[in-house]
Amino acid sequence: MSTKFRQLKNDLQELEKDPSSQLNNSGASKTSSSRLSNYILLFAFLATLTFYIGSRFSLPDINIPNPTEIAQSFNEPSDDLLQRMGSWMTEMGYGELSRQELIDLRNEGVTATYTSQIRDVGYTDVTLEQLVELQRADVSATYARMMKELGYGLSVDQLAETRRNGVTANFTSQMMDLGYTIEELTIENLMRLRSVGVTASLAERLINAEGVKPTIEELIRYRISNQ
């Protein structure tokens, strides 16, 4: 990686961490959100006042912008941030993305930093569509890395499916600590356990009470019978 590109990557990571770079970023300050709300309320008041005056007096037509469009304009990332993101995405093999494509990706939570982190876990062939699906399923790079360290060779689709079904690396690790093997804790069984609300604390309580480790089927049946 060239020194110039490494500097671009570092600068972009700092920009994406900066709450002021994008109001809809999860790290944006409450002050910024409050200011945006005040702008919208002020616009609504002025629009109402204009309508009232227009109904009492004959005024020429006034083109009033949609409040949603105003909010979106506040939420759009800066051109500098988009240019840096575009350069990084190109460097990672995603071609020359248009400004709107970059904005759409960011609106889905897909940033160049997130893309790089997922690729660093080993998913170097992940597509833009898959990155969007991973974000919609709340798959973090940390989850992908931890599941890999626990011994699971999950595909991109399996990462999304397991997260949509409530599987976490913490739950998986805790079950393993209780003596359950990866052969017992298949991704199908993990999703079945989570779908009925089985927790590691429940499994531990049953182990302590019975003196033996219940099977996956017994855990599921117990949870269903005691809901």
- In a domain? residue 13: no
pLDDT at res. 29: 40
Domain count, the chain: 3
Same domain? For 119 and 178 the reply is no
Same domain? For 146 and 189 the reply is no
- In a domain? residue 227: yes
Averaged over 117-135, what is the pLDDT? 97
Same domain? For 176 and 201 the reply is yes
> By residue range, what is the domain housing residue 96?
77-153
DSSP per residue, 37-103: HHHHHHHHHHHHHHHHHHHHS------PPPHHHHHHHHHSPPHHHHHHHHHHHHHTT-----HHHHH
pLDDT, tens digit, 9 for 90 and up, residues 142-201: 999 999 999 999 999 999 999 999 999 999 999 999 999 999 999 999 999 999 999 999
pTM: 0.69
Same domain? For 85 and 149 the reply is yes
- In a domain? residue 15: no
